[in-house]
Chain A
Amino acid sequence: GAGVSQSPSNKVTEKGKDVELRCDPISGHTALYWYRQRLGQGLEFLIYFQGNSAPDKSGLPSDRFSAERTGESVSTLTIQRTQQEDSAVYLCASSSPGQGLPSSGNTIYFGEGSWLTVV
C-alpha cells in the first residue's frame, strides 16, 4: 500500500510474555519512528531510525524495549516480559528527508497503530 503499514493492528497478551510489533514504512522513506500513546494521553517518542541506524533511542522506557530495522525498510519493536503499563497504542511513522534547503524538508506520516493490551 501507499501508507505506513503496521501489524498486528490489535494484540492482547499475558503479562510476562514477549511481543513483536511490525512496521512497513512508505517505500523510499529512509527515516522511521516509533511512538507510544497511552489511552487519553499524548505521544511519547521511543526511537528514531535513519536507514538501519538508530541515532536517537532516548525514548525507550527500559531495557525490555528494543527495536531494529533491516534493509532500510521494515522495523520491529520488541517488548520483552510485558507489563500492564505497556498497554498502549504503538505508532510507527516514516519520512523522507528533504533535498537541499530546509524548506524542502520532511513530512512525517503515521500508520494506524498497533493496539497492545497486556492482561
Chain B
Amino acid sequence: AQKVTQAQTEISVVEKEDVTLDCVYETRDTTYYLFWYKQPPSGELVFLIRRNSFDEQNEISGRYSWNFQKSTSSFNFTITASQVVDSAVYFCALSHYQGGKLIFGQGTELSVKP
C-alpha cells in the first residue's frame, strides 16, 4: 500500500527563521514520483516540485530546498529565511511513475509571524 505521512500538523516560526517540513512515504513500487504542493489561504494548490525515484540529487530553488533520501523513505522540504508569504499548508504527495492518483499526506500548516 502507498502512504504519505507528514507528522507535523502545525509549525509556527518567526520571519527569517529556517524551517524544515518532514515527509515520510511508503510504497512497494521501485519507481515512483514525489511531489510538494503549497496551499495558501486562497485555497489553490500550487505545484512546487516533482522528484522521480531515480534521482536522489537534492534540489535548491531560491529559498526552497528538498532532501530526498530513499534509504529512509523521506522527502523533506526546507525553507530558508522564511517570510510571511510562506504561510500556507504544505502537502507532500506520492504517485506511481506511470501516473494515476496522487496519495497526499495530511499536510503541515506553516505559520510565519513577522
Contact = CB atoms under 8 A, between A and B. Distances in A.
Interface of A: 31, 33, 41-43, 45, 48, 50, 55-56, 59, 89, 91, 93, 95, 97, 102-103, 105-113, 115
Contacts of A115: 43
Given A42-B104, A108-B35, A102 B43 contact: no
Interface stretch (B15-23, B61-69, B70-78, B94-102): B94-102
25 contacts: A31-B100, A42-B91, A42-B105, A43-B91, A43-B102, A45-B101, A48-B100, A48-B101, A55-B100, A56-B101, A93-B102, A95-B99, A102-B53, A102-B98, A103-B52, A103-B55, A105-B97, A106-B95, A107-B50, A108-B35, A108-B47, A108-B102, A110-B45, A111-B44, A113-B43
Interface of B: 31, 33, 35, 37, 42-45, 47, 50, 52-55, 91, 95, 97-107
A31 B33 CA distance: 16
Contacts, number: 68
Given A33-B101, A59-B101, A42 B106 contact: yes
Contact of B43 (A33, A89, A93, A108): A89
B44 A56 contact: no
Given A43-B91, A102-B54, A33 B102 contact: yes
Nearest to A97: B99
B10 to A, nearest CB: 11
